[in-house]
Amino acid sequence: MSTPEINARIESLLAQMTLTEKIGQLYQISDDDESIEGGLHQAIRDGRIGSIINAKRREPIYELQRLAVEESRLGIPILFGRDVIHGFRTIAPIPLGQAATWNAALVERCAEVAAKEAASVGIHWTFAPSLDIARDARWGRIAETCGEDPYLTSVLGAATIRGFQGQDPAQAGRILACAKHFAGYGAAEGGRDYNTTNIPEVLLRNVYLPPFQAAVQAGVATFMSGFNDLNGVPASGNELLFRQVLRKEWGFEGFVVSDWESITEMIEHGFCADQKSAAWAAARAGIDMEMVSRTFLNHLPGLLEEGLISMEIVDQAVARVLRWKLMIGLFERPYPDMEAPLPLKAPSHLEAAYEAAVESLVLLKNENQALPLNPGTGKVAIIGPLADAPREQMGTWIFDGQPEDSVTPVTALREWLGEERCLYAPGLTYSRDESTDWFGAALSAAQAADTVLFFAGEESILSGEAHSRALLHLPGAQMELLRQLASTGKPVVLVVLAGRPLAIGEAADLCVAVVYAWHPGTMGGPAIIDLLFGKCEPSGRLPVSFPKDAGQIPIYYNHHNTGRPASKGGFARMAEIKVGTKQVGLPNTSYYLDLGVDPLYPFGYGLSYSNIAYEVPTVSSTEFTEAEPLTISVQIRNTGLRPCKETVQLYIRDLFASMTRPVKELKQFQQVILQAGATQEVHFRLKAADLSFYGPDGDLRLEPGAFELMVGPNSRDVQGVRVTLLEKK
Ligand code: GLC
């Protein structure tokens, strides 16, 4: 349907719609909510429901849709939405794990698979991707993000949107995406979910907003407001975010849905006195559709009556909702295909989940090439609460994933080695288990084996929404079990399944190798075991800095330098401070006496089974102008014996500016596959505009002067070259 036809259809519908029917389009009800006046079915017949959340099976979706299409006055179809975050039935790694792949095409493919499966049962809309920047591992929802970096989140968020929506979301197997949670939700104070956020506008614009702008540029259909109050104004009532930034500055034309009851929560926030004022604040701010709470349903008529909001605002919101319903062909094709076989867990879907799981794995330690393991000889003990935990390995936000679909590491290891060479003893029954009753069997298995694989981490319930942790250690008695396993003298390979960075420093010291597997999804077992035995190469890179302990938080690579950086003046290690040291006897720089200033593992870090050497980067010119981009080149060589997929990262630093700037900012990356012994030159094209930043009054600035361009395998081990952006003539 062409745009003019769609516009004409919208005008015609608006002209026919009663106020009740208009406001109905702005209301999303939960599929099990019968509390609405007259019950759900009657509300649908009356045209009081525009969208339904959480219907997930073809038959009830068909029946609910039939009521809307055939028994309501205007037959406007319902938009069915559901959280299809990292898979519908085939579960891919959690988004933080997918981010560790740094592979936009693969992330897109995972979203495409999720869309195909969800669309097949009649779901039209998912509430993903989460584009929140997460700098705090205590925050449970870091699991759903792409980590701490605006550029990586922008690239992978856009890929996810493309995967869900395709070029045309009207095509079969596609669903509408939703950029969430606008904005700043991940900056929850103390990493405690739903907590207040205070983000200076300059930080908001330079760090938290870019991924959302990238989502608009990628054509995302919808936005969702966050639960958080941002600088004292709840996101769901925040005109700066929605009227000013999203609509006026970015020209977004889709529609905005509130988060679950986030409009009524403005009363709890102390921002609105009652439901009516909450509806008013949300409508004024630019929320188009209300999720589950009913302030719009109950109070928009009165607000219109009193002239507190105009019918134009209501019509605009209704038009935005109708537009997407028309654009995806919902009026022509309102029903799911009831005859088509459901493509759930199709082989190609499982293959995508497997590849994403493999590429999400980050090798953090590999002492004396302990890995890959030799499958030909010896026995392997596989121990730990996450070695055979089909539900846990799927991670958070997997409403439709089924544990019985998961292939666990134990299953995969048995397929590799056969039952007799695979000695499985969980040692703990779940990740928080404090009991040592099963240690004996685990230690016996370790004693009888040549190598020990210890699968540690978090159950999936320990991460995700509302599940924040103040401490980041391995829960339960896992460390005690690991200490005893290590004391057997057998080499221990640690594999961590978790929804966040954990403080695994001591654990890593006890092991010969460490692989971080996040929550790897349905195919996590084969992916991990295949990697441990070298059937595939580790290529994952950290999308988030790992703190040594929660006390270092917030810790992120793109920090500012301060006037007293530890990098300049050094720092003392508490254990080495002599008793009686004088007050001025230690460096006065920015660090912690006990944990220093560096993360356990830096952003972008990850090892391979080979080794990549980097030459010093070169530039096409040490001076450049806005008119012509700069080329940065670096030669890399695989000096090892195995092929490797290397993620070459380009960072910049503005050395002197009208505001203090981060010591590093990721601006580009390229993934390069290098055979053993091969050399390749990698080139980056940098435009002057890539060096711009927002000033305190929201103005975009590009300032001439000296910049450091740095290239390397991660945010720490970089080599730089100085260039100058010349004054505009
Ligand atoms: C939840 C989440 C949001 C989700 C929505 C619908 O509370 O904050 O991300 O999409 O409600 O389930």
Residue pLDDT, tens place only, 569-593: 889 999 999 999 999 999 999 999 9
Per residue in 273-311, pLDDT tens? 999 999 999 999 999 999 999 999 999 999 999 999 999
Average model confidence (pLDDT) across the chain: 97
Residues with CB under 6 A from ligand 1: 83, 127, 180, 259-260, 465
Per residue in 490-515, pLDDT tens? 999 999 999 999 999 999 999 999 99
Given a cut of 90, whether residue 728 has pLDDT beyond it is no
- Rounded to whole angstroms, the Cα distance separating 468 from 140 reads 4
Per residue in 355-395, pLDDT tens? 999 999 999 999 999 999 999 889 999 999 999 999 999 99
Q: Which residues of 290-323 are buried (b: 16+ CB within 10 A; e: fewer)?
A: bbbbbbbbebbeebbeeebbeeebbeebbbbbbb
Interacting residues of 678 by C-beta distance below 8 A, sequence separation 6+? 637, 638
Given ligand 1 and candidates 79, 182, 236, 259, which is best to mutate, with the most ligand atoms within 8 Å of its CB? 259
- Rounded to whole angstroms, the Cα distance separating 516 from 332 reads 47
Sheet holding 51-53, edge to edge: 125-126, 79-82, 51-53, 27-30, 290-291
Q: Which atom of ligand 1 is nearest to the CA of 127?
A: 10
- Rounded to whole angstroms, the Cα distance separating 504 from 607 reads 17
Residue 696 confidence class, pLDDT cut points 50, 70, 90: confident
Residue 609 confidence class, pLDDT cut points 50, 70, 90: very high
Residue 54 confidence class, pLDDT cut points 50, 70, 90: very high
Per residue in 415-429, pLDDT tens? 999 999 999 999 999
- The predicted structure's pLDDT at residue 505: 98
- Rounded to whole angstroms, the Cα distance separating 710 from 666 reads 9
- Rounded to whole angstroms, the Cα distance separating 299 from 491 reads 66
Given a cut of 90, whether residue 1 has pLDDT beyond it is no
Q: Which atom of ligand 1 is nearest to the CA of 130?
A: 9
Given a cut of 90, whether residue 729 has pLDDT beyond it is no
Give me ligand 1 centre to Cα 181, in Å: 9
SS3 content of the chain, % helix, strand, coil (to 5): 35, 20, 45
Please report, to the nearest 10 degrees, the dihedral formed by the alpha carbons of residues 693, 695, 701, 702 taken in order: -60
- The predicted structure's pLDDT at residue 212: 99
Report the nearest-CA residue for atom 3 of ligand 1: 259
User: Is residue 530 within 8 Å of residue 517, measured between CB atoms?
Assistant: no
Q: What is the mean pLDDT of residues 61-69?
A: 98
Give me ligand 1 centre to Cα 421, in Å: 45
* CB half-sphere exposure, 359, CA atoms < 13 A: 24
Given ligand 1 and candidates 84, 260, 263, 396, which is best to mutate, with the most ligand atoms within 8 Å of its CB? 260
Per residue in 191-220, pLDDT tens? 999 999 999 999 999 999 999 999 999 999
Residue 243 confidence class, pLDDT cut points 50, 70, 90: very high
Q: Which atom of ligand 1 is nearest to the CA of 178?
A: 10
- Rounded to whole angstroms, the Cα distance separating 141 from 125 reads 21
- Rounded to whole angstroms, the Cα distance separating 402 from 390 reads 8
Give me ligand 1 centre to Cα 31, in Å: 15
Report the nearest-CA residue for atom 8 of ligand 1: 259
Report the nearest-CA residue for atom 12 of ligand 1: 83
Residue 336 confidence class, pLDDT cut points 50, 70, 90: very high
- The predicted structure's pLDDT at residue 269: 98
- The predicted structure's pLDDT at residue 584: 94
- The predicted structure's pLDDT at residue 2: 86
Report the nearest-CA residue for atom 7 of ligand 1: 260
Q: At what angle do helices 311-327 and 275-285 cross, to 10 degrees?
A: 60
Given ligand 1 and candidates 28, 83, 228, which is best to mutate, with the most ligand atoms within 8 Å of its CB? 83
- Rounded to whole angstroms, the Cα distance separating 173 from 436 reads 49
- Rounded to whole angstroms, the Cα distance separating 91 from 495 reads 20
Residue 697 confidence class, pLDDT cut points 50, 70, 90: confident
DSSP labels, 169-223: TTSTT--B-EEEEETTGGG-GGG-TT--B---HHHIIIIISHHHHHHHHTT--EE
Give me ligand 1 centre to Cα 259, in Å: 6
Q: Which atom of ligand 1 is nearest to the CA of 85?
A: 10
- The predicted structure's pLDDT at residue 112: 98
Give me ligand 1 centre to Cα 545, in Å: 26
- Rounded to whole angstroms, the Cα distance separating 597 from 573 reads 10
Give me ligand 1 centre to Cα 282, in Å: 17
Report DSSP state, residue 637.
E
Report the nearest-CA residue for atom 11 of ligand 1: 260
- The predicted structure's pLDDT at residue 540: 98
- The predicted structure's pLDDT at residue 499: 98
At position 347, the amino acid (one-letter code) is: P
Report the nearest-CA residue for atom 10 of ligand 1: 127
Given a cut of 90, whether residue 438 has pLDDT beyond it is yes
Interacting residues of 559 by C-beta distance below 8 A, sequence separation 6+? 662, 663
Q: What is the mean pLDDT of residues 100-111?
A: 99
Q: What percent of the chain stands above pLDDT 90?
A: 98
- The predicted structure's pLDDT at residue 377: 82
- Rounded to whole angstroms, the Cα distance separating 522 from 656 reads 48
Q: What is the mean pLDDT of residues 439-453?
A: 98
Give me ligand 1 centre to Cα 466, in Å: 11
Which residues does the annotation mark as catalytic?
259
Sheet holding 719-725, edge to edge: 623-624, 719-725, 705-712, 644-654, 665-674
Higher pLDDT, 39 or 570: 39
Q: Which atom of ligand 1 is nearest to the CA of 128?
A: 10
Report the nearest-CA residue for atom 1 of ligand 1: 260
Q: C-alpha angle 90/92/98, rounded to 5°?
A: 165
